[in-house]
Amino acid sequence: MNEENLKAMFLFNRVTNYTPKQKFELLEKYGSAAEILAKRKEAEDVFGKPFKINGSLLLEQKEMKTVEKEFIFYEKNGIEILSISDERYPNLLKEIYDPPSVLFACGNLELLKNECPVAMVGSRRASNSSITLGYSVARELAGAGAVVVSGLARGIDFYAHKGALDGKGGTIAVLGNGIDVVYPRVHSAMYERIRREGLILTEFPLGTPPYKRNFPMRNRVISGLVLGVLVVEASDKSGALITAEYALDHGRELMAFPGRASSETSAGNNRLIKEGAHLVESAHDVFSVLGREYDERVERGSRFFSPLEQEILKVIGDDLVSIEEIEGATGRPVSKVASALMMLELKSVVVQYPGKFFSRMEKYGH
């Protein structure tokens, strides 16, 4: 795509009062964003509304100045631009009924060609046990050759990305804002790590804030990129269930970890399983559901946390916990608890404070 057509695409992409499906239909009808703008009055009559940006009429001459700056930013910062006609645009995403007309990407584009992309989603206020399990499975999935896709949100998303990268595998973070906006700000270090070792992806123009309306759109892209969606932990009102709905709409495999019968935080998982989602408990189960062969080069039983470490992580939250409290909760000798805590410190999951008090390294639930 030449520079003129790219800039026309940027301009058309800034329109906010048309849905992705409406934009896609106009692109199919007119062939390019440049042609849409050249025949603007006719194109606007298709859906009976003028092009607007955040409530204001699109003024092409004025807005083109912003587009010029956007174009320069992408060139200077190594941001790749993938229009829907680009051969690098992910094939799975093209299959959905409302694919983004353009994607902005920074990082390893080869990850879009992976044969086993899996989404992992869940609560921003997840329990310790679900974070531990989600991290372990993400690490094992990536280590076995899958690419883990998530949304860089707090809680499950964060640990899905971290697990995949710690497993020396690939991860894709799909944003609900512009590629130059880090949200939440506390994930700045993870954002930079994914830029270096994974892939950052968004359909939103430069500078777009994390508007609430953007996240369902972000969730449809997460689902569209993958073969299957794994819900790690979700209440009945969790936003993760929106991604689960998209998975069904897109014909993707829907999977969920089972939760306790009395757990409100896992009520969404249990309902999904009742309604037909695959019950999974391990990376091996995920590969099986997706019809992919599990890479046996990954050592059997190589979960990142030992059984005792998993017990300890269920005890430790954001508040300081003493080694004596951990010993009492686990029923293990203090020598074994101390050894396990040392390993968790080396894995950058737990931090020790004076007096042998411990807490989680990351603040994930606020």
Q: Mean of the pLDDT values across residues 125-129? A: 84
Two domains, one topology: 109-289 and 307-360: no
* Tokens linked to 274: 């009742």
Domain ranges of the chain: 3-76, 109-289, 307-360
Residue 301 has pLDDT above 50, yes or no: no
Class of domain 109-289: alpha beta
Q: Mean of the pLDDT values across residues 143-169? A: 94
Q: Which residues on neighbouring strands pair with residue 120, listed in sequence order? A: 230
pLDDT in the model for residue 310: 81
- Of 362, 344, 334, 345, the residue nearest 306 (C-alpha): 344
Q: Mean of the pLDDT values across residues 311-338? A: 87
CA angle 334, 338, 340 (to 5 degrees): 120
- Of 238, 43, 61, the residue nearest 156 (C-alpha): 238
pLDDT band at residue 362, thresholds of 50, 70 and 90? low
Model confidence over 41-80: pLDDT tens digits? 999 999 999 999 999 999 998 899 999 999 999 999 999 9
* Mean pLDDT, the chain, whole residue set: 90
Rounded to two decimals, the pTM is 0.82
Cα(82)–Cα(90) distance, integer angstroms: 9
Q: Does domain 307-360 have CATH number 1.10.10.10?
A: yes
